[in-house]
Structure formats: structure tokens, C-alpha cells
Amino acid sequence: MSTDTDTAAAAPDLETLEAGQQLPPMHKFPDEAQLFLYSAASHNPHRIHYDREYARFEGHDDIIVHGPLQGAWLTQFVTDWAGPAARLLGVTWQNRASGLPGEELVFSGTVTSVDAETGVVELEIAEHTSDGRLLMPATARVRLPTT
Amino acid sequence: MSESLIPAETLERVGEVLSGPVTTVIDRREAQRYAYAVGDENPIYFDEVAAQAAGYRTLVAPPTYVAHAVVQPRTAADLRTDGLYREGTRIRLRVDRVMFGGEEWDFLEPVCVGDEITATVRLAAVDQKEGRKGPFVRQVRETTFVNQFGDEVARSRMIGIAR
């Protein structure tokens, strides 16, 4: 259950940031232990996250990664990029497909708008498996510090 | 237009409170346990000095943690075979399957350790749509989170797809 970000980049600079710029991708490697810990920490007893036989009975390939865990990763992807002085204003995500333990999950994002006056930046984000299956299309709004 | 999947009695419930209000104090250990489980070790969740340097009153909780903080303890006798708890309030639809479609969050104010958060869930919308695989119902459950100062701190809309 580790996280890799491609660069430990400095917080984005509102002066030079513009639509079309890409965020450094974030990689997640969920395993069974992480799914167990997330079920416990989020008070989620749903069987498809810990009982392999039951998950298969419901038509999944294996136990599946929680939607809200992927949502929490989405917020981490943005807040890690934006830095501690920024404020996350909102996120949206769609659950398209399920991630499985043992898969590498990749978050990528593009700046879609920048308001230099207010510092509000809008992002389009996607979570894929490393072999390109789209799990979660998403958006985020974040306010960067204005100087 | 195909036959309606939404009974009239369900349409009349739009706007109704489905659960709550429930009030919970944001606990440091539980919020940190959540951050560790996510693998998000942002110092603003763990280090009070870092949190204050970033402009927060004190340690802050991860953005979506508040949704889990307000989950009330339930007896295991209430678990269904799929592991979910039986719901007190059911929305009647003429469908076979309900799936999680996604979520939309607005973060309005920080949620800090020690804050007292009151959550209320409402049925915000029930709409029938035409999809490629036939008609489906989009159901939106909106939760509002209000802190001890009376400020709305977050709003989440959980989108269920039923067909």
C-alpha cells in the first residue's frame, strides 16, 4: 500500500500556471491489507471488499477497491500537488469500473482553467489501471494562494 | 418514453430527510487512522505546527473523512448477507439493481480535530433517464455537514444508478 509521485515538485505557481498543463501522475498500489484497513477506518462492512468468494458471486473478478478510497486518493492527488497553503474546494467522480488489489492505479490530471485573480484552478482528472482501463473520470476545484 | 421506473410516492419524497441529523465530534485518532488507511500522510493531518503554518486552527481531517466520521454504530444483527446494514429509509423504485454512480463534493470550510459536525441526508433528486442499455434512474442523496459554529463545512451528493 504505497504511493509514488513522479516528481516531488514545488507547489504550482499561479503566475505561470495555464490551462493544458499536466499534473505529475500519482501511482497507487492497493493490496488486501489496505482494503482491510480502509474498510475498518471508514466503518464499511460491505462484503465485496473482503470476501473474495462473495465478491465473485456478485460478478466481480476479485474483492474490489472501495469507491470512496479512490475518491480519497483523488483528493490526495490534488492536495499533494497544490501544497498545504491551497484549499480544495470540490471534487466530483464517476465510478466506471472497479480496481482490484495487486493492480497499479494511476492518477493523471490536466489544468482546465486558471483564475489568476481568485487563485481558483479547475482540473480534469482520470484514474486508470496501468494497462489503461478507466476506473474513475473526475474533476476538482482548488484555490491556490494568491500573493 | 418507456414505463416509469419511479412510483409517484417516491417522486413526492424528493426533498425529504432520509437520515439524521446526527452529531459527531471529529476524533484525532480516528481521522489519522483514516489518513493512514488511505496512504495520505499529509503533515496537516498529523503535525499541529504544520497545520497552523498552513492556516488551519489546528489539525485538519482529510477532506472526505467527515462522511465516515458520522457513521453511527450499529449491531451486527442489522447486517444483510452482502455485508451492508439494512436501511431505515428505503426509496421504492421499479428496478432490479442499484449501483454507485459517483460522488460530488463541495468543501466549504475546513473540518478540524475537535469540531462537532452535524450531518443530515436528504433525497435531493430522483430522475429517470434514457441510456444506451435502456431506461435508468439517477438518484441523488445529498448530505450537508454543519459545524459547531453553524457553518456549513461540506456538502456531498452520492449518485446512485438503478435499472
A125 lies in some domain: yes
Helix, strand, coil shares of chain A, percent, nearest 5, are 25, 30, 45
A41 lies in some domain: no
pLDDT recorded at residue B94: 84
Of B33, B38, B79, nearest to A45 by CB-CB distance is B79
A95/B102 CB distance under 8 A:
yes
Return the H-helix or E-strand segment holding A26: strand A26-28
Q: Domains in chain A: how many in total?
A: 1
Q: Which residues of B touch A87 (CB under 8 A)?
A: 107, 110
For residues A28 and A108, is the Cβ–Cβ distance under 8 A? no
Give the residue numbers spanning the domain of A81.
15-30+66-143
What is the set of domains in chain B, with CATH numbers? 8-73+91-162 (3.10.129.10)
Closest residue on chain A to B29 (Cα):
A41
* Test mutation, A60, A81, A91, chain B, max B CBs within 10 A: A91
A8 lies in some domain: no
CB atoms under 10 Å from CB of A82, counted, come to 21
Name the least confident of A55-64, B26-35, B79-88, B144-153: B79-88
A104 lies in some domain: yes
A93/B102 CB distance under 8 A:
yes
A129 lies in some domain: yes
Q: Which residues of B touch A94 (CB under 8 A)?
A: 101-102
Q: Which residues of A touch B61 (CB under 8 A)?
A: none
A53 lies in some domain: no
Which CATH number is A111's domain given? 3.10.129.10
CA distance between the termini of chain B: 15
* pLDDT tens, position by position, A131-145: 999 999 999 999 999
Closest residue on chain A to B157 (Cα):
A92
Of B63, B79, B101, nearest to A75 by CB-CB distance is B63
pLDDT recorded at residue B88: 66
Min Cα separation A128/chain B (Å): 16
* pLDDT tens, position by position, A7-44: 556 789 999 999 999 999 999 999 999 999 999 999 99
A54 lies in some domain: no
Q: Is A143 helix (H, G, I), strand (E, B) or coil?
A: strand
- ipTM, two decimals, is 0.94
User: What DSSP line would sit under A109-129, residue for residue?
Assistant: EEEEEE-TTT-EEEEEEEEEE
A133 lies in some domain: yes
